[in-house]
Structure 1
């Protein structure tokens, strides 16, 4: 039976003035809307108890399974307000399908695609006034599942909570698009063969944090991980996929089971030919990346993901060596891809692929 997500209005939502103050400078992930979507699954009864409720804390028993065994998964997508005031989502069905795949890997129940979409549409409808309109601003949506049963046995949980919260987000690059520097990790691995690298779960991100601290200590913005088997192939960044431009080819690491199948990554593969590039998915040796960037055969490198869309990479750093990409500047193809995606998402370009879903 489909979940309904009926609205239980917040008794004291933020005032118009308070909301407008947040929207004037939302940042990313710092402020949250008045409501959240929730639903509960039990092994005995399946999914139920769904609603849009006032945003607020969970009450968790100290033995709640997720606190001990990290059985949880999450997603990230955005709602965009177009110039006519309408509100749209970008490829939300892909996020729903990826949440199902992540849940399967973490032994969590599947939330059906239609229930995922219903929860998001109901939440955005309840908090419509929180969807920004200025520039690249959007409403970031964070759906997640976690083991909420109180027990200390090592098994999949018999009680699971689904929730979706929303946070207004400003432009990722408030001062214009800026190339970032990347530290190539020599010691740490993000994910191993047979592990959870292809799932969007918190453990993958927790495992990247020490390497991210190492990157910061070397003056870099982000960290690039090698594959977990041979430590010689490009895997991905701590939270984004990687692309490079070589001649007329747009190349990204092939999906090996340890790389997250990003929605933005997939969209760029589709758009490549429209922008005069041939999309290629294959393994890329780190030595090939460094040598190609150094001699110019690799003319551009960028990262991509929901939050930043497309982020130019200006340099790679490893012990004793720094290599610039495109003279440390943003590349022409990188900026064109970024602009095409933004134009589709924000309604300035025709959506010939049927990616946008109107919800208000």
Structure 2
């Protein structure tokens, strides 16, 4: 039976907090919009979604998410054009991926109509929190956690799906230096690397802190077997420009299927830029840098869109990247944001209007 938007229960705030916010000085992920959504999975089915004022929730100390990390999440953005119309960017991909992640962690999949109607309700209620202007957006965080009480090592029988939102500006305002990992890996074959599992990110913090102690902002992760192949950068997919060819690793059971990554690859093809999708050897990138053939490295992800890398360290040797004319990272960021802010045509139908 098809569910309707009217089945969402909506409780509005009595007074907005928006006047308390300095939108010119927003730390990423620290300031939240007026409303949030939650929906519980109880007795084998998802209940009615609840849109309520943003605020704390109470959970028992034995709640399973605290003990076994049964949690997945997504990252999305809403953009406002010059006519006050709000757009999402390829939200179908995020919906598909959170359910793929959920399935890998034995979490029941969330209904599509609940997902999209909840997004529409939240963004419509908090329309004024989506600011116009380059770099401004509303960051959207859907996530689901195990909520059954009990410490038995087994999948939970109850869950809570939530969506929270926060106004955001550019995540990375400057280029970064990175460290090629020689010991630590983000994920291993047969694991949960392809899923946006919460534990994937918690496990990255320690080696990333080690890199920061050496003066690097991020780590480019290598494969868990022999550390011969470059796979992801921090929380982003990674691209290398060798001469005029764009090179990136294929998605697999270790590498996240990024929405921005897929969009960059399509835009490259649209604009006659050669793209090579295949395993990327560390040795190849180091040699390309030494020969002057490595022109650019950049990360691609929802929060940053495109993050330029100015250099990397491997085996205690630092490789500076050259300044190039008409850099790909600037080109792709501009192309993506022109679509996201409704400044140009959308030939692939990536924009999703919030009515």
TM-score (norm 1): 0.94
* Partner residue, 1:9: 12
Aligned 8 A contact 2:229 2:280 in 1: yes
Aligned 8 A contact 2:178 2:313 in 1: yes
Candidates 203, 210, 213, aligned match of 1:214: 210
Matched, 1:67 2:66: yes
* Structure 2: distance between partners of 1:250 and 1:10: 48
Pairwise CA RMSD: 1.5
Aligned 8 A contact 2:79 2:88 in 1: yes
* Partner residue, 2:297: 301
* Structure 2: distance between partners of 1:106 and 1:127: 31
Report deviation, 1:333: 1.4
* Partner residue, 2:190: 194
* Partner residue, 1:37: 37
* Structure 1: distance between partners of 2:183 and 2:339: 39
Aligned 8 A contact 1:275 1:337 in 2: no
Report deviation, 1:150: 0.6
Runs of 4+ displaced beyond 4 Å:
none
* Partner residue, 1:166: 165
Aligned 8 A contact 1:300 1:331 in 2: no
Matched, 1:334 2:337: no
Aligned 8 A contact 2:9 2:48 in 1: no
* Structure 2: distance between partners of 1:85 and 1:6: 26
Report deviation, 1:186: 1.6
Report deviation, 1:300: 1.3
Q: Would the alpha carbon gap of residues 247 and 320 (structure 1) be closer, same or farther in structure 2, given more than 3 Å must change? A: closer
Report deviation, 1:247: 3.2
* Structure 1: distance between partners of 2:293 and 2:339: 30
* Structure 1: distance between partners of 2:325 and 2:289: 13
Q: Equivalent residue of 2:280, what SS?
A: coil
List aligned pairs for 1:198-277, cutoff 5 A: 198-277=194-273
Aligned 8 A contact 1:313 1:330 in 2: no
* Partner residue, 1:47: 46
* Structure 1: distance between partners of 2:172 and 2:186: 26
Deviation per residue, 1:312-355 (Å, 9 max, x gap): 1110113420011225x786111101110011001111111100
Aligned 8 A contact 1:37 1:53 in 2: yes
Aligned 8 A contact 1:22 1:31 in 2: no
Contiguous gaps of at least 5 residues in structure 1: none
Deviation per residue, 1:109-161 (Å, 9 max, x gap): 10122221111111111111111112210000000000011111111110000
Candidates 327, 343, 354, aligned match of 1:348: 343
* Structure 2: distance between partners of 1:232 and 1:330: 31
Aligned length: 352
* Partner residue, 2:25: 25
Candidates 307, 314, 338, aligned match of 1:311: 307
TM-score (norm 2): 0.95
Contiguous gaps of at least 5 residues in structure 2: none
Deviation per residue, 1:162-191 (Å, 9 max, x gap): 0000000012345xxx32100112221110
* Structure 2: distance between partners of 1:22 and 1:72: 32
